[in-house]
Chain A
């Protein structure tokens, strides 16, 4: 199993948000996590990536045989975890190419692999740009600096393509995208699907899942996964709303 989350309790500023979440993601699988606002979707992404300020109060996360929660964010990245941010950060003055090469080489160093030189890097980058049909111009600018919303999201997927993680977490990558940008992002993700790579696709809407067909769909409500199923669960949710799941829960509890 690539990722095993067991009974995870976590929160921020003393407020518990994840209340016993469990999830197993195998290599090659795409898991979609859906849920209403405030259910803990983004908290899960932040906790997995190691963002400061989130406290884990109980439970465990094993990734590729290691205790993920013990690792610093950069160590998680080197181990193969990648988070595509819901709101990618603009960092003017840090060149996109320089940043990405520094990231790739830092990961390679951490794994004991040789660094790649600028010629090899450029070749790699061009190849990945082509897959995502992104203009090379983007690389000359500061990280996400002056990018449109769609460009920012595509840049996240581009970074993922270059860094080739074992586990990619997409945090509402579809938010704020028009239908064309959504399709480009989805095409990029689909191109990166492989037997060795797992995906957690966090989304509010079913729309993205029309393009990235998940193997499993989970519904997150109030910090817990309350329902799991195949891709048809997403369609049911779209048809009936999250209230439908809550009612089923109540009914289930009463039975």
Chain B
């Protein structure tokens, strides 16, 4: 009997495994594109000579008459839109006015373009500048089809191109023998919301692509370590000092690869609800002391995403550690691969490597799977990802110590986001094309930080678990899709069972800022006309706190008042006016009052005016003034060496 039971169980488990295996072969995404690319890398000229066969299946439901393509590497030329913007407003790795250096020249040169079955159409390529009309920008070209592509039909483009990599800039390029090849191949735009979406490359923008499959075969110097999106499917020593390695990736919308003869490969794995995921890290030899930090952060992050948001569906994640001087390649996400960043001297108390690993892995969800349009809605990937970054870093490294954890001081992730938002809180709404922000400070402060603070503050309104549940539901609905902002807010509203449009309108579409403060607080005798002496427990006081709203952001307010008999009162104001008077007539006097006593409203720009204490405490001001005096003394002495 027992034996029979075991057999039945074994058969059932076998059947389940078979179903599971079959399910794994089912595409996770609408595979619109299939790229097959073969190229040879010349390490001396930093060029890749390649052919690309792109099969595009028209799943738009309408006929297509033209196709736009990105040529991102053409951004690294003096007259391009990217370079012009970088020079005028700065970019992530260089301040404005950094000037042009020839080593940063990059290009994507299309040698020939053929539509399979229709012949060579190279001469019909036309560069367009849909965003700014810059005739010198060659980051987007368009091709008109000889005949329309009907819905449901496929078309194949065969492109011979040469990619010339710059010395590393904006996440792509070489540094000595290291190469990070991102945005390196002619990439078709996305037909989205009824039209082609193919923006020029801007200094502040990232990317947008259709899901599909990538089969990439690269020939490069033998013994170089190679990593790429997807998994390695083959490697061959060509016997002439070169090797050819092949990779396959599916249900991804971009493909990046890296090569470096110096890196050390570290392999590990992590067990998640979706199965075992292989971790492959390409480390710089001088950075091996950061391996355990990377791994701890990565595994912790993967577990938290698995628990809170959803399963990681790919079999592998590749982590690239850029070399010294190659920091511009660091901190960047690609499907199933990301670049981190550390140094040989990285102090343990400074959690930047951990934050980078967390953030870039988080993009596997917010960009990788929920593939929002980074050109137009950067807050949807960077901002939501910054929110999960705060949550996960808090969970892994402590709420107050998740960015800096030293004896001298601490800095939390949420503190970091508040600082960044506070620097430029009202110049741009989150819902703005990434290249149209006034400057990098506003772009970072709003796109990343304001969105993170928006989600964190939402926790104080509807609860932490509800927000995470909403995000999980949003992920499940829009993974392997391209949701727009309205789809995010609608999904969240539905998941949390509330209409939060009043909130989204202010935080996403608006530039309203918030600074609630205690304007006055007092305790006066109710019988102010009486000449009898005050008597504790007998005299009745009129206690009053006036809360004033300095900004124009409407949000409910909770006030906590404490009295001298130890009693505590919490009251709520709907926040629909410029100010509100809280008043209590009781036999106790007010000793303190605090707006947002749970410290959940992180959009409030100034936490120092949120509270009032009847008794002054000079501890903090004395401490800081003491240090200020000391710094002045030391500066005096430094200058005194001239005497």
Partners in one complex: no
- Residues in chain B within 8 A of chain A (CB atoms): none
- Residues in chain A within 8 A of chain B (CB atoms): none
